[in-house]
Structure 1
């Protein structure tokens, strides 16, 4: 095997001479680390199991390994399709379909003068489901604006309700004296989140702040905060849906890629960190946040601050849908609030006038 290794060799006692790398019928294969000796490498291997999304880094969006299967024969009649593919990293939630035979892969020689063809090629498609990955959400969204003093927090108990026992999946206070010992006792291989005590209890919070209003532009500040003491996020990404992304002018410290799920509508953007600057979201603490500002150009036909238009429709962090506050809790324009109060006052006056009229008529 090249470019990867099986985690267990299994029982190879029946082989006397050339002992195979693995004798298990259902092996678990892991990627090799960067810096692996060249004689153990193959193309697109040895990334430590970390691959980027295609939009972030196409050159590192693929990973491969090569293995030789014994007793498989030398024709496409003797070779059997693999079964029960499963992706175990970066976590649960993946479901893989059956292997499907496709057109054989073609390979070009280094001098580009000869093309060879694979004996057989098959394709396995795996899909991710947030509902299979975890029972509760993993992120939430809070909102604020320059025109309203109200800060709309994440909904209470979004990702769970607060408990003080960390051993049972609870939380810890940021100034707890035993914090360091609790974090170190979990170990690096424990996927169980240890979150900071908050009202929402989410490992990740995304804050969208409508910061400034110019004559032809408006400005937003986006902050991503990690409340998980047991995990950092390498090469994180954020997908935001908002109708004004077709007029995005500048991002100041995030990378940006337009996503167009509908060809005629450009309202979805993918944001991620700048390499070696903020592409690593550290564990909870002083360094556990990244932030950037977005500058939008106003479209006179659609732009408004009224009725929460300036806030995103949906936000996804690392593919997981983040829970938004209810629309009626969004920060309102001051005049919008006065209009609501005025309309309520008018209704009350009309109601009591009708009662007085009916009472006088009776």
Structure 2
């Protein structure tokens, strides 16, 4: 083919006698950052390039042009033209302690391009609020076929916590019922879905005088699993007081990325599976792949951190190198709703009293 699409081989082909046996072969499309694991930060694949008439000169080598790298969730990369460099040295295929040089080598530099819309999103929740702030409406873009049935401008409706485990198509009734219970307004035209393949939930779990805890949950709504996934959260004030994460690996990025903590899966638990059928497909909706962990913070550097005011939530979240959309609001304290309701009742009582006293004059 003149414009071939090359896909990395899965890990089980690493020792295949025909296509494997290459160093750093068969990563299944996953190349980790060098900060995370240098041994898995490169990938090698091999392809045969044939000449087409009239280019029959065997000594004239022209590398493939117009490279482009795409991923299932990762950002796209725009590549420059191949540049001739010194021949690459490879270990001798015979297994001897020797190296052999390639006939010719070229280097193609690819730079990340920011997509028009994100491909992952974040929801916020907290122990002091009954409602979850879901991913924003059309956080990962709106489909043209949806715009006539839903509103791309209407803010996402608040949800009960259990609705996070339900696909968006099955959340409508839960959202309406929750709005009725909590006396929230229901728009005439319901908001459109977020359309994100991966979502993350940041939940404030506790807040004490000497520290606080959060829970990070990852949801995979797509069919493809993510092996060796990683996510990074930027915490402004809370970064200095990060203490530990218990079901993930956690690394504080001291020099590389300011105020950022990187989380990866533990060995044997680094596989975020795709969405699958429920226990009863006829009654229960699809179930997303899910992983979660508790994260603890101290209050050593910032004693007066305003958790309920939003300082306990990340300001930036990335998943597998992709920046995720973050809500523009935080969970509200239940007491705020109670105080507003009590104030309304008090105002009605005063107006009723004034009306009744006026009638007797």
TM-score normalised by the shorter chain: which range applies?
Answer: 0.5 to 0.7
Aligned to 2:216: 222
Is residue 170 of structure 2 the alignment partner of residue 173 of structure 1?
yes
Q: Judge conservation of contact 2:123–2:133 (CA < 8 Å) in 1.
A: yes
Is residue 265 of structure 2 the alignment partner of residue 273 of structure 1?
yes
Is residue 112 of structure 2 the alignment partner of residue 128 of structure 1?
yes
Q: How does 1:65-144 map to 2 (within 5 A)?
A: 65-67=45-47, 69=49, 73=58, 78-90=60-72, 93-107=76-90, 112=97, 116-131=100-115, 136-144=117-125
Q: Judge conservation of contact 2:9–2:29 (CA < 8 Å) in 1.
A: no
Aligned to 1:207: 201
Q: Secondary structure at the match of 1:44?
A: coil
Q: Secondary structure at the match of 2:39?
A: helix
Structure scoring higher RCO (CA < 8 A, sep ≥ 6) equals 2
Q: Distance in 1 between matches of 2:88 and 2:252?
A: 31
RMSD (Å) for aligned C-alpha atoms: 4.0
Which of the residues 224, 227, 230 maps onto 1:234? 227
Is residue 313 of structure 2 the alignment partner of residue 330 of structure 1?
no
Q: Distance in 2 between matches of 1:56 and 1:108?
A: 25
Q: Which moved more, 1:28-37 or 1:243-252?
A: 28-37
Q: Distance in 2 between matches of 1:269 and 1:138?
A: 20
Q: How does 1:1-362 map to 2 (within 5 A)?
A: 24-33=1-10, 34-35=12-13, 37-44=16-23, 47=26, 49-54=28-33, 55-67=35-47, 69=49, 73=58, 78-90=60-72, 93-107=76-90, 112=97, 116-131=100-115, 136-159=117-140, 160=142, 163=146, 172-173=169-170, 199-228=193-222, 230-243=223-236, 244-259=238-253, 266-277=258-269, 279-283=271-275, 285-286=286-287, 288-301=289-302, 304-305=305-306, 307-326=309-328, 329-331=329-331
Pair 102,200 (structure 1): closer, same or farther in 2 beyond 3 Å? same
Q: For structure 1, list consecutive stretches of 5 or more residues without a partner in the other structure.
A: 1-23, 177-196, 342-362
Q: Distance in 2 between matches of 1:315 and 1:220?
A: 15
Q: Judge conservation of contact 1:31–1:47 (CA < 8 Å) in 2.
A: yes
Q: Judge conservation of contact 1:103–1:121 (CA < 8 Å) in 2.
A: yes
Q: Secondary structure at the match of 1:38?
A: coil
Q: Distance in 1 between matches of 2:198 and 2:330?
A: 20
Deviation at 1:87, TM superposition (A): 2.4
Q: Secondary structure at the match of 1:308?
A: helix
